[in-house]
Amino acid sequence: MKSTTLAAVFAALPVIATADIPTILAVDTTHTAGTWRFDVALLHTDTGWDHYANGWGIYTEDGIELGYRTLAHPHVNEHPFTRSLSGVTLPEGTTEVFILPHDLVHGIGPRFLVTLPTP
């Protein structure tokens, strides 16, 4: 089953683009054979190797990390961009998770709530 969750940030894109903190714009989830795939669209004004979005994580409301996607290089000319993480196992009964982006300069960006579809 596939679900799309969109943030209401598109009207504020010019403000976010200059904020220099990583921001999640949208998350698609897919549940297959007991694990989840997360396709995360991220916006960040990467400037090069000294300042770029270097990952995002999937967390429970209690802050338990369920998975982490490392971003190994800057995406200077690619805004926004989408990267995926597959094979994520969620605790039974989980209905919501949070995606938290990270960059090298500012650390963690604003969390993005994902309400999961019933598999």
CA–CA gap between residue 23 and residue 13 (Å, rounded): 10
- Count of structural domains within the chain: 1
* % the chain with pLDDT above 90: 71
Pick from 92, 22, 11, 20: nearest CA to 57: 22
pLDDT, tens digit, 9 for 90 and up, residues 5-56:
444 344 344 444 444 889 999 999 999 999 999 999 999 988 889 999 999 9
User: Is the pLDDT confidence value at 3 over 80?
Assistant: no
Confidence of residue 2 (pLDDT cuts 50, 70, 90): low
CA–CA gap between residue 51 and residue 4 (Å, rounded): 29
User: Is the pLDDT confidence value at 1 over 60?
Assistant: no
What are the residue ranges of helices labelled H in the chain? 13-17
Distance of CA 58 to the CA centre of its chain: 7
pLDDT, tens digit, 9 for 90 and up, residues 70-95:
999 988 888 899 999 999 999 999 99
The CATH number linked to 20 is: 2.60.40.730
Name the residue range of residue 12's domain: 2-115
Q: Are 60 and 109 in contact (CB under 8 A)?
A: no
